[in-house]
Amino acid sequence: MTPLRAAAVWLTVAVGAGTPAAAATSVALPLAPAIDAHKTPGEAEKRSPCLPETFPAKSPFAGKVELVPLFDAGNRPVLQNGRQLEGLRDSVAFRTPSGDIVGAPSGMPTDLASIPPTFWSWFPPDGPWLEAALFHDMLYKTKGTGQWPPAKPTRRCLSRDKPYSREEADHVLDDAMAALHVPAWRRWAIFTAVRIFGGTGWGS
């Protein structure tokens, strides 16, 4: 169960079967031309370092979230759980309240959020927490080390030397959602869900 799927289940239990809240405004994700998944890592390493040299004034975020559909060497869509994966065209980064920087590397695959359509009115896959989820995904995929790609690292997506614990990774998610102005009740539902159900996703 993915963290956001777990959040949807948790929210259903927490608020009961009443009328769902209005859907959050989705983040606009302009899709660039498709790129081959097998070519992405090398190109990405040269084009987009994981950690930026500077951040925009008065913003804890650097870079623009732009996703592209991923294809394999045979030009077939790369699928996961029946959905086509997308990849970050360029790296994005988040400066935490403590001043540490966490990056999500270009080329990192994502299926957005594996949430059943029934729950999309509460948690749309591309909701305002999407960028926060990317940093959380990177920390989970690398078990907090920030070494990317996990199998044969060529980049490090953390500014600090000490790896993040799973609890710290979950707090990065919460801090990034707060910076993105995700409503408090949605943040609570997602954070609580990943704390309770997210353990199986650590390192996968």
Instruction: Evaluate whether 186 touches 24 at the Cβ level (below 8 Å).
Output: yes
Taking only the tens place, the pLDDT of each residue in 18-42 is 222 222 222 223 333 334 443 444 5
Q: Could you identify the residue written with the tokens 């951040």?
A: 55
- 123-154 per-position pLDDT tens digit: 786 789 899 999 999 999 999 999 999 988 88
What pTM was computed for the model? Answer: 0.76
Q: Which residue do the tokens 């959040």 mark?
A: 7
Low-confidence ranges of the chain (pLDDT < 70): 1-48, 81, 113-120, 125
Residue 177's pLDDT is what?
Answer: 95
Cα dihedral angle (77, 83, 88, 94), rounded to 10 degrees? -170
Q: Which helix (H) or strand (E) holds 141?
A: helix 130-141
Name the residue among 57, 55, 65, 63 with its Cα closest to residue 26.
65
Structure confidence at residue 39 (pLDDT): 45
- In the prediction, which pLDDT does 111 show? 74
